[in-house]
């Protein structure tokens, strides 16, 4: 099973992300989904920035 996951890691991850995105579109709507994605990306960028500069150490 681990060999199959390693061979098809990116298609599995992208497919899962697409599935979650589709569920979000259907349940909360387009604009709310876009807000969730924008805030998640902004939080990730801020986290990488803080880690790279050692601000929280």
User: What is the spatial distance between Cα 4 and Cα 2, in angstroms, rounded to a whole number?
Assistant: 5
User: What is the spatial distance between Cα 22 and Cα 19, in angstroms, rounded to a whole number?
Assistant: 5
Q: What is the pTM of this model?
A: 0.74
How does residue 23 score in pLDDT terms, banded at 50, 70 and 90?
very high
Contact yes or no for 16/22 (Cβ under 8 A):
no
Give 33-42 pLDDT, tens digit per residue.
999 999 999 9
Q: What is the span of the domain harbouring residue 11? A: 2-53
Cβ partners under 8 Å of residue 32, min gap 6: 24
Contact yes or no for 24/36 (Cβ under 8 A):
yes
Number of domains in the chain: 1
DSSP 55: T
């Amino acid at each position: 099973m681990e060999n199959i996951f390693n061979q098809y890691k990116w298609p599995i991850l992208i497919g899962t992300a697409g599935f979650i995105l589709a569920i979000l579109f259907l349940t909360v709507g387009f604009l709310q989904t876009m807000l969730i994605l924008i805030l998640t990306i902004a939080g990730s960028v801020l986290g990488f920035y803080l880690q790279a500069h050692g601000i929280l150490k």
